[in-house]
Structure 1
């Protein structure tokens, strides 16, 4: 397989720096930037990789000078198959029809009044605190 953008290959970590890891793929060395190592934030790359590790990488780009950009996290994303959630629409319709418009509006009005009362209470508390300071 050739080094073309989008290809997923196996490589060997040959060097680790603070900003990423150099991985040898098909006799050439490319860089996996620290932001492309894992899905989560990576503070210390050495907690995720060590030299001579075998890793799957996705070729992000190969520029005219032969500089190869690689990604470990994008290579691993391909493995996961995302299945859409199953929704039982019949139960959703039952929930919606069980509440009348008037019931929904009265609940909304009650919730709104409670929130407004909390805001007013908070504002009064803040203004009393300022008067005591002055």
Structure 2
């Protein structure tokens, strides 16, 4: 439940980290509690949240969402960075980097070969069923 009615999306608040899980940091600010999801801790990949923040640490965060139904507050440290990266930019780098062997470009490059292989396999299965 939201204790203070003046809490709004976009507000910057001083928070204290009260707990850490692999998916994010639980925080307290005033009489309120919230969560900073691991994707909102900082731009870029985070392998271990414990290397970035610690229980008891006090930081400034920005409110990015309020679920008025159950009072959950989502916060972000990433939005307060000087040049925050968006998830879209990070995904674009990974998915368009053919060295990563993931994403759309490697799929596009291999689609014709995979299609031929699959059609040959299906033809063989059909021939074996008829025999």
Instruction: Report the TM range for the smaller structure's normalisation.
Output: 0.5 to 0.7
Structure 1 counterpart of 2:76: 71
Unmatched 5+ residue regions in structure 1? 79-134
Give the distance between the partners of 1:76 and 1:7, measured in 2 at CA.
15
Q: Kindly state the Cα deviation for residue 76 of structure 1 after the two structures are TM-superposed.
A: 3.0
Runs of 4+ in 1 over 6 A off after TM superposition: none
Alignment-derived partner of residue 50 in structure 1: 54
Which of 7-16 and 68-77 deviates more?
Answer: 68-77
Residue 27 of structure 1: how far off its partner (Å): 1.5
What displacement does 1:8 show?
0.6
- CA–CA separation in structure 1 for the residues paired with 2:57 and 2:49: 13
2:14 counterpart residue number: 10
1:39 to 37, 43, 50: 43
1:47 deviates by: 0.3
Structure 1 SS opposite 2:15? strand
Rg larger in 1 or in 2?
1
Counterpart position of 1:24: 28
Q: Please report the RMSD computed on the Cα atoms of aligned residues, expressed in angstroms.
A: 1.6
Q: Distance in 1 between matches of 2:29 and 2:82?
A: 19
Tell me, yes or no, if the aligned pair for 1:56 and 1:76 is still in contact at 8 Å: no
Give the SS at the match of 1:41.
coil
Deviations 1:50-71 (A, max 9, x none): 0000011000011121010000
